[in-house]
């Protein structure tokens, strides 16, 4: 599906799951190189940037944050930036693009920001919008980190093992998807200066600043989560050790009682104490004394 948005002499064409015919029409209209046309039809594994005489072509991957796409770890957006046009191509609906559409359609929005000279400014505004959306999603993780911290110190270490692992996987997905962006922006600085002029380099640097902010938040969350994991593992290990210590003590206590009971349960003619007045209570007393001695010894050793 092709959607066009126009402001003054600038055009933004958004292609969602474009067909071969739609790509062919766009290629003829904007004189797209054949290699670019082919790239628009298939998903690409890695982000990249290529410069041509009449346009700059970028492929970027962004972490998905849409509930309906849980199986998809990332979403690809292809950008074709010309002097007076921007083409974006993607393979599923992307909410931040829809939100940017509403901003773009506000007459004078780009003009008020002084960003209406060429399509590079539309690209700049769109990338900033995508990054701000990701930053907002990462900020929401703060509440989840605080919830994990509360549960860890509330004695729910066992339940938190899976919760921490799930959140850690999400952060790893973010990091893996964004890992090539810094290299892309460094390459774009050179291409953009040649294509749009030296003034546009400042805007590419601003994009890099937004990326660095995103990356710093992501690194901070991972550091905090790793500390939480170590704390949770220590508390869980300590709790397990305490449980094993209690079971070990109980085993030592039960052993002599079982031994005494077994001795007096033997089928023999003569057993000590058996047949004496109060023999049952004498055996019980011996057991009580044995238990008292053992508990006193454990207490002396500070085993509990």
Cα within 13 Å of Cα(212), Cβ side: 8
The helix (H) or strand (E) run that includes residue 115 is: none
Instruction: Give the total residue count for the chain.
Output: 304
Residue 51: closest CA among 196, 203, 207, 177? 196
4 DSSP β-pair partners? 13
Query: Nearest Cα to 127, choosing from 30, 208, 47, 216?
Result: 208
Residue 165: strand, helix, or coil: helix
pLDDT of residue 143: 87
Question: Which residues on neighbouring strands pair with residue 7, listed in sequence order?
Answer: 10
Which stretches does DSSP call E strand in the chain? 2-7, 10-16, 48-51, 56-63, 74-81, 85-90
Q: What is the pTM of this model?
A: 0.74
Domains of the chain as residue ranges with CATH: 2-236 (3.30.460.20), 243-300 (1.20.58)
In this structure, which long-range contacts are made by residues 101-106, counting pairs with CB atoms below 8 Å and at least 24 apart in sequence?
A: 101/3, 101/5, 101/14, 103/129, 104/5, 104/7, 104/12, 105/5
Structure tokens at 7: 């402001």
Q: In sequence order, which residues have a C-beta less than 8 Å from that of residue 61 and are 6 or more positions away?
A: 47, 74, 75, 76, 77, 177, 178, 180
- Are 164 and 147 within 8 A, CB to CB? no
Residue 30 to residue 45: CA distance in whole angstroms: 25
Buried-exposed string 5-31: b where 16+ CB fall within 10 A, e elsewhere:
eebeebbbbbbbebeeebbeebbeebe
Q: pLDDT tens-digit profile of 12-25?
A: 888 888 889 998 98
Beta bridge partners of 248: none
Judge contact between 120 and 81, C-beta under 8 A: yes
95-104 vs 119-152: helix crossing angle, rounded to 10: 130
Closest to 207 measured CA to CA, from 9, 49, 21? 49
pLDDT at residue number 69: 44
By C-alpha distance, which of 75, 113, 79 is closest to 92? 75
Low-confidence ranges of the chain (pLDDT < 50): 67-69
- Position 64 scores a pLDDT of 79
DSSP symbol at 108: T
């Amino acid at each position: 599906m092709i959607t066009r948005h126009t402001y003054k002499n600038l055009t933004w064409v958004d292609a969602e799951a474009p067909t071969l015919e739609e790509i062919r029409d766009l290629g003829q209209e904007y004189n797209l190189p054949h290699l670019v046309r082919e790239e628009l039809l298939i998903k690409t594994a890695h982000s990249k940037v290529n410069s041509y005489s009449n346009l700059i072509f970028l492929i970027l991957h962004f972490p998905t944050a849409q509930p309906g796409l849980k199986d998809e770890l990332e979403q690809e957006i292809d950008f074709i930036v010309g002097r007076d046009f921007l083409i974006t191509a993607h393979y599923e609906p992307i909410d931040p693009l829809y939100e940017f559409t509403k901003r773009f359609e506000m007459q004078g929005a780009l003009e008020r920001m002084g960003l209406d000279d060429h399509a590079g400014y539309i690209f700049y505004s769109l990338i900033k919008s995508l990054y701000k959306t990701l930053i907002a999603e990462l900020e929401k993780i703060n509440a989840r980190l605080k919830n994990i911290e509360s549960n860890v110190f509330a004695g729910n270490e066992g339940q938190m093992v899976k919760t921490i692992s799930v959140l850690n996987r999400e952060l790893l997905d973010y990091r893996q998807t964004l890992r090539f962006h810094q290299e892309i922006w460094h390459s774009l600085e050179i291409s953009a200066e040649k294509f749009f002029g030296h003034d546009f380099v400042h805007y590419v640097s601003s994009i890099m600043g937004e990326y660095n902010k995103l990356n710093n938040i992501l690194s901070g969350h991972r550091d905090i989560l790793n500390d939480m994991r170590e704390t949770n593992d220590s508390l869980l290990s300590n709790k397990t050790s305490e449980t094993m210590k209690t079971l070990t003590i109980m085993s030592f206590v039960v052993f002599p009682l079982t031994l005494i009971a077994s001795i007096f349960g033997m089928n023999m003619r003569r057993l000590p104490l058996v047949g004496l007045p109060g023999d049952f209570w004498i055996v019980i007393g011996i057991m009580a004394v044995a238990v008292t001695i053992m508990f006193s010894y454990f207490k002396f050793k500070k085993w509990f």
